[in-house]
């Protein structure tokens, strides 16, 4: 059984088109990102601050530390509501609740921490 040249070309183009469509659908993502900078009251960055992100529905927890520029990033987050807790030595902790991340959102949430009063020990 022999096929005409145009039929083979048609089938090849159809196959190429289907592969391209399937590959592009697979490449789509619905995840988002929450990122920001942690600073003190003067605007100075706070490296090595602990940042904890909690999914409000599943209570799944993700932790990270700020880099030398005071920046934190949580990538590949599913759309959901989250709570953020930030702590650094010598500073009071900060909490942000009900951060709603929609499909493909990229939220920047900068956090400012205040210095805590030191305790004197005698």
Read out DSSP for the chain?
Answer: ----HHHHHHHHHHHHHHHHHHHHHHH----EEEEEEEE-TTS-B-TT-EEEEEETTT--EEEEE--TTSEEEEEEEPSEEEEEEEE-TTB--EEEEEEEE-TT-EEE--EE--BPPP----
pLDDT by position in tens, the chain (length 122): 556 777 667 777 777 766 766 655 555 678 999 999 999 999 999 999 999 999 999 999 999 999 999 999 999 999 999 999 999 999 999 999 999 999 999 999 999 999 997 654 54
Q: What's the confidence (pLDDT) of residue 2?
A: 59
Q: What is the pTM of this model?
A: 0.74
Domains of the chain: 32-112 (2.60.40.1120)
């Amino acid at each position: 059984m022999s096929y005409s040249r145009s039929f083979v070309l048609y089938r090849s183009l159809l196959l190429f088109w289907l592969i391209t469509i399937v590959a592009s659908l697979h490449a789509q993502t619905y995840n988002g990102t929450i990122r920001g900078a942690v600073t003190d009251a003067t605007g100075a960055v706070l490296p090595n601050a602990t940042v904890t992100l909690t999914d409000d529905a599943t209570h799944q927890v993700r932790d990270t530390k700020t880099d030398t520029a005071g920046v934190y990033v949580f990538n590949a987050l599913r759309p959901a509501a989250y709570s953020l807790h930030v702590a650094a030595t010598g500073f009071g902790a900060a909490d942000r609740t009900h951060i709603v991340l929609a499909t493909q959102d990229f939220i920047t949430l900068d956090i400012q921490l205040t210095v805590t009063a030191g305790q004197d020990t005698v």
